[in-house]
């Protein structure tokens, strides 16, 4: 029995629904949740209702592991504790989702660029990247330039207003502590042209 979190009231759920519109007709059965948590895993299990989801979390990140184990309990969900910046994911996927993952790179001592490159190295045909527009740790111009140069196509880019902005007073950015308000989210649907 699946006990999915009801995400229908969340902006992330509504945003995901809009972002995957152009996937109509695609068969999505193998999914990777790169930087998982209860919300992203529940959204994936809900919208791809025949897919199996590999939920990747940083080793020992029990903030995410326990809710994933206790709350969801789906036999379509497998949890993997992997540092994406140090291990290569060999499995092939139809779809990979990174919901608010890139902004956390530095929390585990990694650079944004390194984590972003490793996520884009995952052998998936489609990606959705989704993060806070105002987060100084997420470099959107860099993302777009990298995708263009490395054989990815941004199929959809959308900005979503956050109905419940939060204030982040001390975000570690290199040797600085910066603050920001999460007023918007940016989402990309990306096609990997290197995979046929």
Ligand X SMILES: C[S@@+](CC[C@H](N)C(=O)[O-])C[C@H]1O[C@@H](n2cnc3c(N)ncnc32)[C@H](O)[C@@H]1O
Binding site for ligand X (CB under 6 A): 35-40, 56-58, 61, 64, 82-85, 99-101, 104-105, 108, 110, 115
- 24 vs 90, beta carbon nearer ligand X: 90
The answer for residues whose C-beta is within 8 angstroms of residue 116's C-beta and 6 or more apart is: 102, 105, 142, 143, 146
What separation, in Å, do the N-terminal and C-terminal C-alpha atoms of the chain show?
A: 35
Cα 144 off chain centre by: 16
The answer for residues whose C-beta is within 8 angstroms of residue 39's C-beta and 6 or more apart is: 5, 7, 10, 12, 99
User: In the bound complex, what is the minimum distance in angstroms from residue 84's beta carbon to ligand X?
Assistant: 4
User: In the bound complex, what is the minimum distance in angstroms from residue 138's beta carbon to ligand X?
Assistant: 12
- 69 vs 153, beta carbon nearer ligand X: 69
In whole angstroms, give the CA distance from residue 15 to residue 107. Answer: 25
User: In the bound complex, what is the minimum distance in angstroms from residue 132's beta carbon to ligand X?
Assistant: 10
- 23 vs 56, beta carbon nearer ligand X: 56
Give the nearest residue (CB) to ligand X: 37
């Amino acid at each position: 029995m699946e006990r999915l979190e009801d995400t229908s009231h969340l902006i992330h759920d509504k945003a995901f629904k809009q972002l995957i519109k152009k996937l109509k007709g695609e068969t999505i059965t193998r999914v990777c949740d790169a930087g998982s948590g209860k919300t992203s895993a529940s959204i994936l299990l809900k919208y791809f209702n025949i897919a199996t989801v590999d939920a990747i979390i940083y080793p020992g990140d029990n903030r995410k592991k326990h809710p994933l184990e206790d709350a969801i309990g789906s036999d379509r969900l497998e949890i993997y504790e992997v540092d994406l910046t140090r291990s290569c994911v060999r499995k092939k996927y139809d779809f990979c989702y990174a919901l608010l993952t890139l902004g956390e790179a530095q929390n585990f001592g990694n650079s944004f660029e390194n984590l972003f490159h490793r996520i884009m190295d995952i052998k998936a045909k489609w990606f959705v990247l989704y993060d806070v527009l105002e987060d100084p740790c997420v470099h959107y111009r860099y993302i777009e330039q990298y995708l263009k140069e490395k054989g990815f196509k941004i199929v959809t880019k959308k900005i979503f207003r956050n109905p419940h902005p939060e204030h982040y007073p001390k975000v570690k950015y290199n040797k600085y502590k910066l603050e920001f308000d999460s007023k918007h989210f940016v989402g990309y649907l990306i096609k990997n042209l290197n995979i046929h």
